[in-house]
Amino acid sequence: MTDQQLNKQFGVADKIYFYRTELDITVVSIINQYATANISLHGAHIISFVPAGQKDILWMSEKSAFEPAKAIRGGIPICFPWFGPHLTDKTKPQHGFARLQQWDVLDITEAPGGSTVVSLSLRESPFSLSLWPHTFKAIAEFKIGKILEVKLTVTNTSDQPFEYSDALHTYFNISDISAIKISGLANCSYYEAFDMDLKTQEDEVLSFKTETNRRYIDHYGECIIEDPGFKRNIRSTKTGSKVTVVWNPWEATSKTMGDMTSDGYKTFVCAEPANAYPGIDMIQLAPGASHTLSTSIEIV
């Protein structure tokens, strides 16, 4: 559908508006009493969420590509049907194909109380089938209110079982990576990146002095990002996820990333609800079955 058709079907004056970026990415802007938000149809990717009177909760790289062939750097990339590198074929795109595809608009509605709910959908395509041989239906739902709620529901539409991993790879906008702390992870076991030596976080809070890429297993609780510079705490809760990934690339890795400035790492931290380990928490779906991964994010 063109932007004009989308605006005709779903647009609401001063509240819901579709526009297209120079490089052909369609974005829907939502404005309501609680917040403003922008969601790209490329990747079903929320790129900003600004609660009234606040700075953006989501971080966006000033060098991010906004073009159909590339993933957006910042916001909440949806990783599906695998998280990280593909298990057996490293030529396949990191974090799967969902963040590289144009999603369709299913519906945009006003919920009781005045929040706005945007539902986007993705099904198999020649591109997805060339990478992953299964038919599926994925629905990404964004509820824009005082709280941001994001849900990814995947249904197996094939006649064979399949398994997948996924993540809501959230980039939080922070004042200074050296000053923030994350609580909610004390005594949890984690793997550092791909090192399969299991460690336990003994510190009450996680602080950052170097590149960090922790995958906390069997973590079902909340994370609270305490940000003294922005004088706010952000709470992130989740459902349908057994792993929480916490990532900051620090300076050396930032410099290797073409879509981030070398000091970009200073103003974000990723805390990501995920299902990410073969043998531990891959999601198995029988034909017709569905699974939902969700997160709720708010200032507390």
Residues found near ligand TA6 in the complex (CB under 6 A): 71, 84, 94-95, 169, 213, 245, 247, 270, 272
219 is catalytic: no
CA distances from 187 to 57, 108, 202, 219 (A): 27, 41, 5, 10
CA distances from 296 to 98, 114, 196 (A): 20, 17, 29
Question: Which is closer to ligand TA6, CB of 51 or CB of 96?
Answer: 96
List 45, 95, 169, 219, catalytic entry = 169
CB 144, CB 33: distance < 8 Å: no
d(CA 161, CA 250) in angstroms, rounded, equals 40
Q: In the structure encoding, which two tokens stand for residue 157, read together?
A: 């539409």
User: In whole angstroms, how close is the CB of 71 to ligand TA6 at the nearest point?
Assistant: 6
User: In whole angstroms, how close is the CB of 98 to ligand TA6 at the nearest point?
Assistant: 12
Per 3-state DSSP, the chain is made up of helix, strand and coil in percentages (nearest 5) of: 10, 45, 45
User: In whole angstroms, how close is the CB of 104 to ligand TA6 at the nearest point?
Assistant: 23
Question: Which is closer to ligand TA6, CB of 16 or CB of 206?
Answer: 206
Question: Which is closer to ligand TA6, CB of 143 or CB of 169?
Answer: 169
List 42, 272, 291, 298, catalytic entry = 272
Question: Which is closer to ligand TA6, CB of 267 or CB of 290?
Answer: 267
d(CA 224, CA 299) in angstroms, rounded, equals 9
CB 211, CB 248: distance < 8 Å: yes
d(CA 167, CA 273) in angstroms, rounded, equals 6
User: In whole angstroms, how close is the CB of 257 to ligand TA6 at the nearest point?
Assistant: 7
Whose structure tokens read 């990404």? 140
291 is catalytic: no
User: In whole angstroms, how close is the CB of 245 to ligand TA6 at the nearest point?
Assistant: 5
Residues whose CB falls within 8 Å of the CB of residue 282, separated by 6 or more in sequence, listed in order: 163, 164, 165, 275
Question: If 0-12 CB within 10 Å is exposed, 13-18 middle and 19+ buried, where does residue 36 land?
Answer: middle
Question: Which is closer to ligand TA6, CB of 116 or CB of 213?
Answer: 213
Question: Which is closer to ligand TA6, CB of 10 or CB of 268?
Answer: 268
CA distances from 237 to 104, 146, 179, 224 (A): 27, 14, 22, 9
The SS3 call for residue 129 is: helix
Tell me the catalytic residues: 169, 272
